[in-house]
Amino acid sequence: MYFIYILKSLKDFKTYAGYAENVLIRLKQHNSGKVYATRNRRPLEILYIEKVATLDYAKKRETYWKAGGGRRKLQKYFKTGFPPINLS
């Protein structure tokens, strides 16, 4: 089981998409500066999470969120509100 997550920087308000087996551990890694891509954008908070079954699908969904379609959907969520976070 994998999770796709979208983080928001509270410093520059930009978003970051990634995937992990444990989102809470991964968020701690991001906020402690262990992830190069987000090191200078701390602190970060979780905006969105979706659960997927396989690593291959997780990679595809991450690519979607980083591409145009996913970015447009994020803009829509910023206007209408994000779905509730469910880690179970």
* Total length of the chain: 88
Domain containing residue 35: 2-80
Our count of domains for the chain comes to 1
Residue 29: is it exposed, middle or buried by C-beta count within 10 angstroms (0-12/13-18/19+)? middle
Confirm whether 56 is domain-assigned: yes
40 located within any domain: yes
Angstrom distance (rounded) from CA 44 to CA 31: 6
The string of pLDDT tens digits covering residues 32-49 is 999 999 999 999 999 999
- Is position 10 within any domain? yes
- CATH code at 60? 3.40.1440
Tens-digit pLDDT profile for residues 2-16 = 999 999 999 999 999
Q: Does the model's pTM come out above 0.85?
A: yes
The answer to whether 76 and 65 are in contact (CB under 8 A) is no
Give domain status of residue 88, yes or no.
no
The Cα-based distances of 51 to 2, 11, 12, 20, 67 in angstroms read 6, 27, 27, 10, 19
